[in-house]
């Protein structure tokens, strides 16, 4: 447990536009003004990004829960395994899946900006991009998890993975007990975005 005598701003607080968001907006405006792209092209690009949701990642996790052979392939070569399901693994050079167990809990962060497996999880939440999460997840992962209502026991090793421009991570959350008779579709309904980042467990129902 992380104890000290100063407060942190809550990670999930709403925030004003970051310097990167303001910069992106300025670049977008400049490109449109110079005729390099059109506003319609920008809109269609945003719509494509918005069409990606955590449902894609949930399908991957559900298949891994239901098919041990697929999970083995996913842990060995996530990009190839994701393609087996007809899904886009994203443009990063490497996609790596890491599995939560009774002994290990994995947490994903991008300390430099907000690198994230958008093709599988959609647009990252604001808190993932915020300085509070990015700066604290590495130095105080248990404190961060506690803010999300998750407290792994002292016997559980917490591992933090830092995404980069070349590598993205997907957490395979632990499969809830009592779900042996569920279909893959039903299993996918238990998988949340936050559980695939590592700040939550999968739903139990």
% of the chain with per-residue pLDDT over 90: 70
When pLDDT is cut at 50, 70 and 90, the band that residue 51 belongs to is low
Q: Tell me what the mean pLDDT of segment 104-122 comes to.
A: 94
End-to-end CA distance of the chain: give it in Å, rounded.
30
More confident: 11 or 32:
32
Q: What are the CA-CA distances from residue 159 to residues 23, 98, 116 (Å)?
A: 32, 10, 17
Do the Cβ atoms of 114 and 129 come closer than 8 Å?
yes
Three-state DSSP state, 172: strand
Is 50 exceeded by the pLDDT of residue 3? no
Three-state DSSP state, 149: coil
Q: What are the CA-CA distances from residue 11 to residues 54, 199, 203 (Å)?
A: 21, 12, 22
Is 90 exceeded by the pLDDT of residue 137? yes
Is 70 exceeded by the pLDDT of residue 125? yes
Rg (CA), the chain: 18
pLDDT digits (tens, 9 = 90+) for 177-186: 999 999 999 9
Catalytic residues: 110, 113-115
DSSP annotation of 189 reads: T
Q: Tell me what the mean pLDDT of segment 65-89 comes to.
A: 97
Tell me how far apart the alpha carbons of residues 65 and 90 are, in angstroms, rounded to a whole number: 22
Question: What pLDDT sits at residue 15?
Answer: 58
Do the Cβ atoms of 203 and 173 come closer than 8 Å?
no
Spell out the domains of the chain, with CATH numbers in brackets: 17-51 (no CATH), 52-197 (3.90.330.10)
Question: What pLDDT sits at residue 29?
Answer: 87
DSSP annotation of 113 reads: S
Tell me how far apart the alpha carbons of residues 135 and 110 are, in angstroms, rounded to a whole number: 9
Tell me how far apart the alpha carbons of residues 159 and 148 are, in angstroms, rounded to a whole number: 16
Question: What pLDDT sits at residue 45?
Answer: 64
pTM to 2 decimals? Answer: 0.79
When pLDDT is cut at 50, 70 and 90, the band that residue 6 belongs to is very low
Q: List the beta bridge partners of residue 99.
A: 172
């Amino acid at each position: 447990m992380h104890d000290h005598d100063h407060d942190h701003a809550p990670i999930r607080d709403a925030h004003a536009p970051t310097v990167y968001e303001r910069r992106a907006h300025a670049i977008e405006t400049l490109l449109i003004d110079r005729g390099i792209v059109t506003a319609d092209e920008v809109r269609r690009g945003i719509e494509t990004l918005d069409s990606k949701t955590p449902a894609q990642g949930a399908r991957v996790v559900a298949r891994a829960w239901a098919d041990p052979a697929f999970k083995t392939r996913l842990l060995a070569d996530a990009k190839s395994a994701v393609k087996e399901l007809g899904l886009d693994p994203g443009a990063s050079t490497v996609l790596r899946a890491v599995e939560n167990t009774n002994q290990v809990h994995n947490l994903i962060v991008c300390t430099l900006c907000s690198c994230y497996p958008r093709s599988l999880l959609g647009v990252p939440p604001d808190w993932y991009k915020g300085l509070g999460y990015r700066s604290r997840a590495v130095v105080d992962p248990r404190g961060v998890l506690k803010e999300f209502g998750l407290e792994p026991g002292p016997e559980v090793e917490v591992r933090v993975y830092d995404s980069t421009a070349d590598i993205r991570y997907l957490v395979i959350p632990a499969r809830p007990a009592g779900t042996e008779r569920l279909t893959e579709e039903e299993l996918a309904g238990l998988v949340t975005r936050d559980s695939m980042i590592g700040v939550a467990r999968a739903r139990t129902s």
